[in-house]
Every structure is written in C-alpha cells, then in structure tokens.
Structure 1
Amino acid sequence: MNRTKGIFSLALSAALVGGALVSAIYPSTAIAQSVIESQVDGEFEGWAGETVVKLMNGQIWIQTEYYYHYHYAYMPDVLIYQSGGGWKMKVEGIDKAVRVEQLR
C-alpha cells in the first residue's frame, strides 16, 4: 500500500446501535466527530418527549424525536452518533436510539 501525506490513519469502530452490532472502518479524525461516548451526569429516568440529558463530558443534549419510555438508571453509558443528517443517542438499558440535538 502506498502511504502519502494526506491519508488518514484507520481505526476500527464497533458500536451497539439499535440492538445490532455495527462495525465500520473510519478515518481516525471522523471517529471523534461522528461518535461520542460518555455517561449521563447523575440520574436518568428515561425518555419523556423533550428530555434534556447532561453528560459527564459537559455536553447537554435534548430529545427531538417523540418517544416515551420509563427507565431508571444512575449514570448509564451513552453513545451518540450521526444518523440521517442529525444525531441519535443510545442509552445503556434502552433498545431504541432516540434523535437528539446538542444544546451545549
């Protein structure tokens, strides 16, 4: 393989998305921009329509897709990824990933 100055290094990214294991190879810079892993900062009580979620990394996200599902968890893991021109959040313990928008 010919290595040139402008080629990204590749990294293997595997993420549990909507109950299916999705693996893909991304340029290393794209991983940082298209997948965010963190934890909820405190209690999470599920999705209620316009749920605001504060993460341990300081980001704040709001639910933009209507979905109601009660699920109590303390500091669950969160995976946020780009999907269809927006973002989806997958919270540990809930099968469905929900469309979200970043507030901060």
Structure 2
Amino acid sequence: MIISEGQLRGAFKGFKNTDTIFEFYGGRKWRQAVYQYEYFYAYMPRAKVIQEGGAYVLRVEGMARGVVVRPA
C-alpha cells in the first residue's frame, strides 16, 4: 500500500543513518529507521513510501533498493 508519493525536496544524497530526514513537497517528513549507507545523488527525485508488512519503506526512483523509514 502506498502511504506517501511525490517528489523529495532539494538535493537527495542517498541513504545514510538514523539521523537522515527525507522531506516530500507538501511537508511530509520521514526519518531513516535503520543504518543503511548507499550513495545516490539526484535533485528532487520522485519517491514513495510503501507499507510492506509492518514497516514503511522509502523507494526512490533510480535506486535498486529501498530503506526502512518512520514518520519524523
């Protein structure tokens, strides 16, 4: 199930650690919930948060894998 979908604000530099915040246009913010480092640069990429099982997963266009997130 898609929870949130749209464009991320500003420069996206991939997944880092649990301090990383992802903000969608419209103001919805998500915090990375696990350490997962994967560098990928994109300016205002399209993305979506999907509920998979009991977790929320952020998937960013152009990246092979997603990352587990929680509301910020």
| TM-score normalized by the length of structure 2 | 0.89
* 1:88 is aligned to 2:60: no
- TM-superposed deviation, 1:83: 1.1
- TM-superposed deviation, 1:57: 2.3
CA distance in 2, matches of 1:77, 1:90: 9
CA distance in 2, matches of 1:67, 1:93: 17
Number of the residue aligned with 2:32 = 63
Greater share of residues in helix: 1
**Aligned residue pairs: how many?**
70
CA distance in 1, matches of 2:40, 2:66: 13
% identity of equivalent residues: 36
- Long gaps (5+) in structure 2: none
- TM-superposed deviation, 1:66: 1.7
Deviations 1:48-101 (A, max 9, x none): 112111111210000012210111110000011101212000011111011000
Number of the residue aligned with 2:6 = 38
RMSD (Å), alpha carbons: 1.0
| AA partner of residue 52 (structure 2) | S
CA distance in 2, matches of 1:44, 1:89: 13
Residue 61 of structure 1 aligns to a residue whose secondary structure is: strand
* 1:49 is aligned to 2:17: yes
- Structure having the higher Rg: 1
Structure 1 ranges of 4+ moved more than 6 A: none
